[in-house]
Structure 1
Amino acid sequence: MKPTDHSTGPSKPYLLGHYAPVSDETDGFDLKVTGTLPPDLNGRYLRNGPNPRPGEDPGHLFVGHGMLHGVRLRDGRAEWYRNRWVRTNKLAGAPYLRADGTVDRTAVNANTHVIAHADKLLALVESGLPYEVTAELETVGPCDFGGRLTTAMTAHPKEDPVTGELLFFGYGPTPPYVTYHRLSATGELVESREIPVPAGLMMHDFAITENHVVWLDLPVVFEPRLVGRSMPMRWDDDHGARLGLMRRDGTGDVRWFDVDPCYVFHVGNAHEDAAGGVVLEAVRYSHEAYHRMWQAMGGHVEHPPATTGWLLGETQGGRVHRWRLDPATGTVSEQALDDRYVELPTVNDDLTGRRSRYLYTVAEHAILKYDTVAGTSRSFGTGPGTSPGEAIFVPARGGDGEEDAGWLLSMVSHGMTQGSELLVLDAGDLTRVASVEMPRRVPAGIHGSWVADEGRPTTAR
């Protein structure tokens, strides 16, 4: 079956090539496997991403309707693939902005991430409420945790591997601009707290450590005049850039550290070091790199950069960067760890908020693994013309105790006519273990999770 190409021209890369939407929902069974799937990969690989309906141009990558893709693995077999739109109120035609000026946080596209927590699977987008879905990817409906969640929910919550709590936040264009939330391990919303920031901003991600939350107050802010025209965000040189430290026990105020102007879409990890500092590793965008990526996504850019390209192409992406915040002295140090353009950083989620050595990222035609202690890296090339997706780490059962004992799962797009595969790599040496051929092309998407049949779900951030 050849998918419909909804391309509208070279100025809309979010509708072209690897990102071109598919036009329908389908199911496939007994999928072809090359190599040998590890027998303890028993569970579901789930991935979310924007997928406009036929004939629609959402105007921005972030605005397309959410579509979930799932692959069921069990006992060395790939039992099924299926894809489903998340049936939100927005998909049904409800407006996000009501006639009275209030917003409907259920009228969202739920297109960014899909996670498991407590007894729920949730499709997430940062502009509104999450949507609960079933293990077969059918939509249950919006979730506000018993009426307690009254803000949007980030698409990048962090689950503490020790306490099982899910920490997250919501942001918006009007006060309170940022609100911190905490779900218990059983899924009860037990804390909500305003985080003072001076303006409405796009806070796409954040980080946690064992005792702290790390906030990202960076210079991409809400722009009212863009409402209805594009994603209403712009880079504001006057806003400044700072990282905030907040104690998770609720004591003290947020302590802010000024940093060089930049933007961060995605955090790798953070931890507390032996000297009492907090170390953050993330993909950092310079002013020019941000504008290249934002323009490719369909965003408004007042002064377009001289070079543009495809999403995650040769001129797209940010660079892995490290900040160290020192609460004792109030100082911050910054260090670039690599000069390659990458995105979608992930780690072994058993070490979220703790010291982790390995960071996995995606580059053009490759998956990269960084050893952040040794300062080295290695890569696995997926081939010319491919677009590898976020690499989700799945720990090996009965592993040898090594942080990288396990596998990386990545949905790789081979383009409009070559289909897609679910690639399984050995996370230790980045060798190919197996691949599962998809029964249809899967567009390049954003984030996903491995939901194991037993034990704690493994969720990319």
Structure 2
Amino acid sequence: MTTETPLYLQGHLAPVPDEIEAVDLPVTGTLPPELTGRYLRNGPNPLPGQDPGHWFAGQGMLHGVRLREGRAEWYRNRWVRTGTMEGRAFLRPDGTFDRTAVVANTHVIEHGGRILALVENGFPYVVTPELDTVGPDDFRGRLTTAMTAHPKSDPVTGDLHFFGYGALPPYLTYHRLSAAGELVRSAEVPVAGPTMMHDFAITDRHAVFLDLPMTFRLQKGMPYGWDDTYGARLGVMPLDRPGEARWFEIEPCYVFHVGNAYEDAAGRIVLDAAHYTRDAIKAAWETIGPSPSGHTSAAAAAGVATLYRWTIDPAAGTVTQAQLSEEGLEFPTVDDARVGRANRYLYAVSDTEGILQHDAERGSVAAHGLGPDVVAGEAVFVPSGAPDRGEADGWLLSITTTRDGKASELLVLDATDVAGAPVARVTLPRGVPAGFHGSWIPDSDLPAERSENQDEDDR
């Protein structure tokens, strides 16, 4: 690598050149037997010799670790085989997106017994439990927009709420899948223009949209940038009245990732998210973009988010904001059973502090430090199987990678003692590039695995 090599092709961000698999992975500590399933994580991994022009634009690659009954059975990595694998562009000259020729590189989830690789400018791609690509899915022709990489599953109904945004009208469209995976509702949500709406939130009764000043433009790499003239708003849409959003102006900022939202006893909507100031998002965008001139430690330090809370009072027509902590962080997550409901704990990743647990009840932060030479990936909460478990009864899973990109582990932490020693560490057979988002998918969520496990039990 030379000094002109972009940051997103160096060190712990550098792509791997091939697909491999390994079995019987070494484990330090003890893997809880309840962790029987797959931890899957998605992220950008450009094809050999390619420079996509921005970290966000690399070809998607899934990394998976199969755990069963206290063993780490396998690791494998596979590219998500989308149209760009054959050289097709995802952005047309007129500014529209080819939704079947994207890089599905942002998230991977399970819904309705199927595994979906996601990116916000295209259709979801179905993959097998062994990470092979089946192909794009438009839900029997009913999905006519892109699908966000950050859908929200209601823990009570099982419905999957999501949206699509685009560079041309309709700029924003809300969608809902049933628990079985059928697209049952779509509705346009009017907004002023084409913004990069990466994430959103739900409560038990509302969706909350973030209409923020990162707007569309034709340029190298990612076609979005900060717009001082656009303004910033939060939109509150009743889930039983799709398309009817009420908008609340806020101070200009940007949010890649929402932690959670809920409605309090007074009917106010509380939204927690990783907040970037104008200067912070511009510094972050340059640091991970095409210009090597921005790749300095000062730029990286300036381009960080902090945890903020917005409280929307529909009755008074007001919204207030407050900074909840000073730590720079990203990738906020919560227990999936608390999505849209009040949560005490929120987990996040810090470049300097490691893996964080924010305790809203105590107003405190616990950190699992990894040292200066190791980077943590998003921490995914996996609940214990106890029927009366507390909110933090479970584990956090994260792929960690050394800053030189040469070694990685699957880290398992006790979520009731985040600052304590790891429960287990699984040594992976290669360095895994830092990526975006992932999911724990228990065998019970996959029909084929349920059948296989039942057959073994019968034998």
Question: TM-score of the superposition, structure 1-length normalised?
Answer: 0.93
Give the corresponding residue for 1:341: 328
Aligned counterpart, 1:428 = 416
| Closer, same or farther: CA 376–417 of 1 in aligned 2, 3 Å | closer
Question: CA–CA distance in 1 between the matches of 2:198 and 2:429?
Answer: 33
Q: Pairwise CA RMSD of aligned residues? A: 2.0
> Which residues of 2 match residues 17-416 of structure 1 at below 5 A?
17-97=11-91, 103-224=97-218, 226=219, 229-250=220-241, 253-298=244-289, 308-309=296-297, 314-365=301-352, 366-398=354-386, 400-416=388-404
Paired with 2:289 and 2:177, the residues of 1 have a C-alpha distance of 34
Unaligned runs of 5+ in 2: 448-459
Secondary structure, counterpart of 1:62 in structure 2 = helix
2:7 partner amino acid: P
Shift of 1:91: 1.1
Structure 2 distance, partners of 1:105, 1:97, is: 9
Alpha-carbon distance change, 58 to 162 in structure 1, aligned in 2, over 3 angstroms? same
Q: Distance in 1 between matches of 2:242 and 2:111?
A: 27
Q: Is 341-350 or 250-259 further displaced after alignment?
A: 250-259
Contact 1:218 1:242 (C-alpha < 8 Å) held by counterparts: yes
Alignment CA distance shift 1:445-1:220 (3 Å): same
Aligned letter for 2:407? G
Q: Note the alpha carbon deviations across 1:345-399, whole angstroms, 9 max, x for none.
A: 0000001000001000000141010012221111000122111000000001116
Greater alpha carbon shift after TM alignment, 85-94 vs 447-456: 447-456
Q: From the superposition, tell whether residues 37 and 112 of structure 1 become closer, same or farther in structure 2 (CA, over 3 Å).
A: same
Is contact 2:187–2:243 with CA below 8 Å preserved after alignment?
Answer: no
**Structure 2 Cα separation of the partners of residues 447 and 8 of structure 1:** 29
Q: 1:371 to 1:230 in 2, by over 3 A?
A: same
Q: Distance in 2 between matches of 1:61 and 1:155?
A: 16
Aligned to 1:442: 432
Change (3 A) 1:355 1:456: farther
**1:90 match: secondary structure:** helix
Distance in 2 (alpha carbons) for counterparts of 1:395 and 1:160: 16
State the percentage of identical aligned residues.
58
Q: Aligned equivalents of 1:370 and 1:110: distance in 2? A: 31
Alignment partners' CA distance in 2, 1:354 and 1:8: 49
In the superposition, the TM-score normalised over structure 2's length comes to: 0.93
Looking at structure 2, the residues matched to 99 and 381 of structure 1 have their Cα atoms a distance apart, in angstroms, of 46
Is the Cα contact below 8 Å between 1:223 and 1:232 reproduced in 2? Answer: yes
SS at match of 2:297: coil
Q: Which moved more, 1:11-20 or 1:181-190?
A: 11-20
Choose between structure 1 and 2: higher helix proportion: 2
Partners of 2:341 and 2:7 in 1: CA distance: 37
- The residue identity in structure 2 corresponding to 1:159 is S
* Secondary structure of 1:335 counterpart: strand
**Aligned residues between the structures:** 444
1:265–1:283 contact (8 Å) kept in structure 2: yes
Q: Report the CA distance between 1:96 and its aligned residue.
A: 2.5
Cα deviation 1:8-44 (Å, max 9, x = unaligned): 5356111111100000000000000000000110000
User: Is residue 95–residue 168 contact of structure 2 (8 Å, CA) maintained in 1?
Assistant: no
SS of alignment partner, residue 350 of structure 1: helix
Q: CA deviation at 1:441?
A: 0.9
Q: Contact 1:292 / 1:309 at 8 angstroms: preserved in 2?
A: no
Contact in 2 for aligned 1:296/1:309 (Cα 8 Å): no
- Gaps spanning 5+ residues in structure 1: where? 1-6
* Structure-2 separation of matches of 1:416 and 1:299: 20
Tell me the residue number matched to 1:4.
Answer: none
Distance 1:438 1:252, change over 3 A: closer
SS in 2 for 1:294: helix
Decide whether the 8 Å contact of 2:17 with 2:48 is kept in 1: yes
Give, in whole Å, the separation in 1 of the partners of 2:195 and 2:309: 22
Aligned partners of 1:309 and 1:316 also within 8 Å: no
**In structure 2, do the counterparts of structure 1 residues 346 and 83 end up closer, same or farther at CA, with 3 Å as the change threshold?**
same
How many Å apart are 1:456 and its aligned residue? 9.1
Partner of residue 441, structure 2 = 451
Segment drifting more, 398-407 vs 231-240: 398-407
Verify the 8 A CA contact 1:231 1:300 in the aligned structure 2: no
Given that 2:113 and 2:446 are in contact with CA atoms closer than 8 Å, whether structure 1 keeps it comes out as no
In the alignment, residue 343 of structure 1 is paired with which amino acid? E
Aligned-pair distance for 1:299?
5.9
In structure 1, C-alpha distance between the alignment counterparts of 2:94 and 2:248, rounded to whole Å: 39
